[in-house]
Structures are given as C-alpha cells and as structure tokens.
C-alpha cells in the first residue's frame, strides 16, 4: 500500500477528516493498480468552495483539490466519501495512465486542451464505474457533448471511451478529434 498523506492534517474551515480521505485514497490506489506506489499526497485547499482538482506531480504522486471537489453537495462543508472517490479515482487513473510507458506522453493537466481533458475524464470514469464506483454517466455524457457536439458521432465517441480499456493517449485524442471534426461538419 502506498503511504498516503493529506494536507492539512487538521481542517478548520470545512468538517473534513484527513484519515477518512486517506482511507479512500488507499482503497482506490489498490483497486486502480497503484499498490507499488511509494507515496500519494493529497493537498486540499479548504479556503475555497470551488471544485478544481488536478494532478500536480508524479513523484511523489500529488493531487491538488479545492475543498468543494470533496464536499457533500447536500451538506455544505461536510466530506462526501463517494464524491472523494469519484474525484480522486479519476485522477489516480490519469496517474496510472501517465506511469504506463505504453500510454504515451500526455501534456500536464494545465496544458491539456479542454476537449482532450474531457475525453480522458470519460475514459477514466468509465473504468472507475466498472470497478463499482459512482459514475454519473449522464453527467459525463452531457459534459462530453458540450465540448464535442450533440451529434451521433460524439455519442459514438463517448461510448468508445466509456467502455474502453488499454487506450493510449494518441487513441484518446484521435477519438476526441474525430468527434470535434463531426461537430464542425454539422456546423458548416
């Protein structure tokens, strides 16, 4: 099991428990195949209710999240373990992909074009859903359509990403680009 650390250790602005977050991350790391990872750091910015989350480093694995990403939407300032699993699980799949030499070289999270980022999220969350975690499939489909168009080609691309395993970065971007091309064809 990887050594998981959560910062801050004591929360003052939200009612989160670092040990609960660490337990979710440890379980996910095992399920996703990151058992051999030495260290996973989760840095929570509790000063904002926003929900941005990204991978900021691979050695050690560092995930940066705004507290809103882990918050229970029905109980403000309370931790949602299910939501934490959704957000951190998606990011840990991205880490696993990045660590796999066969996956190829993907840009950093800050440099990802939005359509490619959304396509990669669909691929990650589809795999997370097959592990038995919350998927919010319709939410992901709507988000994908917003970036790739409300077309049959976009829906087919979504299905390919959602149900796939073992894709490379090049394949993910090609699927995304094909859907974008269909969107442009419909628009012209």
* Tens-place pLDDT, residues 16-34: 999 999 999 999 999 999 8
- The token duo for 172 is 């993910």
For residue 60, say if its preceding peptide bond is cis, omega within 30 degrees of 0. yes
| Residue 188, pLDDT above cutoff 70 | no
Q: Rounded to whole angstroms, how far apart are CA atoms 131 and 72? A: 22
How is the chain split into domains, by residue range? 3-99, 105-187
| Residue 43, pLDDT above cutoff 90 | yes
Q: Find the mean pLDDT for residues 109-137.
A: 94
Q: Rounded to whole angstroms, how far apart are CA atoms 76 and 105? A: 38
| Residue 38, pLDDT above cutoff 90 | no
Q: What is the pLDDT of residue 166?
A: 95
Q: What is the pLDDT of residue 36?
A: 75
Does domain 3-99 fall under CATH 3.30.379? My reply is yes
* Tens-place pLDDT, residues 82-98: 999 999 999 999 999 99
CA angle 129, 63, 177 (to 5 degrees): 60
| Residue 2, pLDDT above cutoff 90 | no
Q: Rounded to whole angstroms, how far apart are CA atoms 91 and 154? A: 23
Q: Find the mean pLDDT for residues 124-142.
A: 94
User: HSE (CB half, 13 Å, CA atoms) of 144?
Assistant: 31
* Tens-place pLDDT, residues 161-172: 999 999 999 999
Instruction: Tell me if 106 sits within 8 A of 97, measured CB to CB.
Output: yes
Q: Find the mean pLDDT for residues 114-131.
A: 97
| Residue 52, pLDDT above cutoff 90 | yes
Q: Rounded to whole angstroms, how far apart are CA atoms 105 and 96? A: 12
| Residue 114, pLDDT above cutoff 70 | yes
């Amino acid at each position: 099991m990887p050594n998981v650390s959560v910062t801050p250790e004591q929360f003052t602005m939200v009612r989160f428990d670092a040990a609960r977050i660490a337990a979710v991350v440890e379980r996910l790391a095992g399920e996703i195949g990151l058992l051999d990872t030495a260290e996973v750091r989760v840095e929570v910015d509790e000063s904002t209710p926003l929900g941005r989350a990204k991978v900021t480093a691979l050695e050690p694995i560092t995930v940066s999240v705004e507290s809103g990403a882990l918050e229970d939407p029905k109980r403000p300032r309370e931790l949602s373990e299910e939501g934490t699993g959704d957000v951190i699980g998606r990011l840990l799949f991205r880490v696993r992909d990045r660590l796999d030499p066969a996956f190829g070289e993907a840009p950093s999270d800050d440099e990802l074009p939005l359509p490619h980022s959304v396509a990669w999220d669909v691929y990650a969350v589809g795999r997370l859903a097959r592990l038995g975690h919350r998927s919010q499939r319709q939410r992901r489909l709507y988000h994908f359509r917003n970036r790739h168009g409300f077309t049959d080609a976009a829906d087919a691309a979504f299905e390919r990403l959602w149900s796939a395993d073992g894709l490379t970065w090049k394949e993910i971007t090609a699927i995304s680009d094909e859907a974008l091309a269909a969107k442009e064809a419909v628009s012209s």
